[in-house]
Structure 1
Amino acid sequence: MELKAISDDEKQRYKTVVLKFLEDLSYNLDDKAIINYINKLKKEFAPKTARMHIIRIRAFLKFIDHPIANLIELPKVPKRRRRLVIKVEHVRDLLREIDEKLSGPYRLKLKSAVLLSATSGLRAEELYKLRLEDIDLENRTIFVRAEIAKDYEDRVTFFSKEAQDVLEEYLNTFKPSNPLFSKKSLLHQFSKLDTRLRMKHMRKFFSQQSDRLGMPTAVKKILMGHSTAGDVDLSHYDFQDEEELKKIYDEYWKNFRILG
């Protein structure tokens, strides 16, 4: 796992599940004990939770070449359509709560991060690793480095005039260090708020609001870093250069305001 791009949190979850499994079996990995344990998981947990536990146990058993590993079938999880709709008023309420409950650099930092992500489509993990040199404030452009992008490819995206104004105030007032928006810092500030929204929801808002504003889906996907493979329309727009993409972005987002 250390050789793969797996987060520390996910590695810890694997460790917790596997240690519980081994301890419950007193480290006696005979077939009958393993079968009984897996059946117990299926009875005790909801299908989705049981499935995640069994995935981790099976991965461990494969790693130690246990013969039963390839016989373990994962429980099926009922597919339910759950679409979280995030509207302008939801983000507006979040920004107002930030203004009311936070002060000084913390208020401007979180407000800048929210507006930047909500109008650019950045992934939360990309935002947490942004450096000052990744942002062209004057041209409202973000350069997403390959090393911080999920698909390991460089790309550009843009942000609104409203986000630019707040970010400029933050940078000029407090001269923050790199990274601009550390994960630990933002999560701590969110913990002081009553909202259920988190940074990951800002990307979802960008996607949904882009559709409401009528932005071409292909352009939206390029800005968000989605794969263009197998998508003829997306591949066509992928030939647009940075300047052309910005023109299309500005048509829909430049003057869009969340706070009115």
Structure 2
Amino acid sequence: MSKKMFRDCMKEYIAGLMARNASPETISGYSKDLEMVNRFLEQRYNGFVMLEDIQTQDLEDYLTMLRVKRNYQPASVNRHLNTLRSFYKYAIKKGWTKENVVAPIDQLKAPKKERTFIDEKEYQQLVHAIEHPTIKTIIQFLFFTGLRITECLSLTLEDVDLEEETIFVQNGKGNKQRKIPISPKLLPVLIDYKENIRPDTESNFFFALAKTGKVSDVYVNRILHETTKKLGWKKKVTCHVLRHSFASNLVKNNVHIVHIQKLLGHADLKTTSVYVHANQEQLAQAIHTL
């Protein structure tokens, strides 16, 4: 087995992710994580590092550095560990190394984060307080479809079929496609947007501004932040919180978890199950049905 440099393996691993059609977020996140690992190792070894020379202790020290020197939260340290696990799995499969030096490292205990979501009443308050007509429509759209903001903003005019009352998501995570029915509460909002609000532009994006022909996720989140501040809310509401709210409200209405999984475009049911945060009262009610 010829020795390979860690930095070369890293580049090949990222190229492999691209070939597998991993999402841009995954590729960018894993690239940054591995760049940081490489910098740490090159400083430690005073030069280029061979994959074969890396020891478990090196990677444990790297993760400790993230926690102690950089004050990373346990969940962030675990994310770096998961990147390394994924990298080593690939490296072994490719025959670059025989030893998985990450295997002995355990994840840190991370406190379970309570997912923020808003209910129907808060949603009405929020929508009422947003003055920008296009952004107001996008907020309503996210609350009633559960789409990721990147999916929402990349929809074209053809993807939103108001006659068939369906949304065709073509650019889902991992390039997966799915169809979402349009809620009867959302349909008149979208018809009004298309007829009266959407600017006369050559852009093919469904959500468009006159100046740019598109809308950025940063702009939507900024208006959300400004609006919640104006309302005096302590709760931090982002576009992703609206996706959580969609899922949580479906759970509350006893929609089957498999249907929620399909609507959210989750590949794994485990990901969807985090929304089923039943409280003690709901559990008591469940027992009373027996």
- Calculate the TM-score normalised by the size of structure 1: 0.66
Contact 2:166 2:182 in 1 (8 A): yes
1:148 aligned partner, one-letter code:
N
Instruction: Please list the CA deviations of residues 11-64 of structure 1 after superposition, one character each: whole Å capped at 9, or x if unmatched.
Output: 222222222222222233442544433444455543222111122234444555
Q: Structure 1's 184 and 228: CA in aligned 2 closer, same or farther, altered over 3 A?
A: closer
- RMSD of the alignment, in Å? 3.5
CA contact (8 A) 1:41 1:50 kept: yes
| Offset at residue 95 of structure 1 (A) | 1.6
Residue correspondences, number: 219
Q: Deviations over 1:111-146 (max 9, x none)?
A: 22221222233343432232222223245x12324x
**More relative contact order in 1 or in 2 (CA 8 Å, sep 6+)?**
1
Question: In structure 1, what is the Cα distance between the partners aligned to 2:19 and 2:182?
Answer: 33
Provide the residue aligned with 1:191 in structure 2.
222
Does the 8 Å contact 2:220/2:239 carry over to 1? no
Identify the match of residue 86 of structure 1 among 113, 118, 122.
118
Q: Residue 129 of structure 2 aligns with which residue? A: 97
Contact residue 117 and residue 242 of structure 2 kept, 8 A: no
- Stretches of structure 2 that go unaligned for 5 or more consecutive residues are 1-16, 43-47, 209-213, 229-235, 270-290
Instruction: Label 1:17 to 1:168 Cα distance change in 2 as closer, same or farther (>3 A).
Output: same
Q: Secondary structure at the match of 1:71?
A: coil
Residue 222 of structure 1: CA displacement?
A: 7.2
Relative to structure 1, the CA distance from residue 33 to residue 204 in structure 2 (aligned partners, 3 Å threshold; closer, same or farther) is closer
1:7 and 2:47 correspond = no
1:48 to 1:207, Cα distance in 2 relative to 1, 3 A: closer
Structure 1 residue runs of 5 or longer lacking an equivalent are: 100-106, 231-260
The aligned residue for residue 104 of structure 1 is none
Query: 1:14-33 maps to which residues of 2 (within 5 A)?
Result: 14-26=30-42, 27-28=48-49, 29-31=53-55, 32-33=57-58
* Alignment match, 1:240: none
Q: Give percent identity, aligned residues only.
A: 18
Q: CA offset at residue 226 of structure 1?
A: 6.0
Measured after TM superposition, the shift of residue 94 of structure 1 is 2.4
With normalisation by structure 2, the TM-score equals 0.60
**Distance in 2, Cα, partners of 1:14 & 1:130:** 27
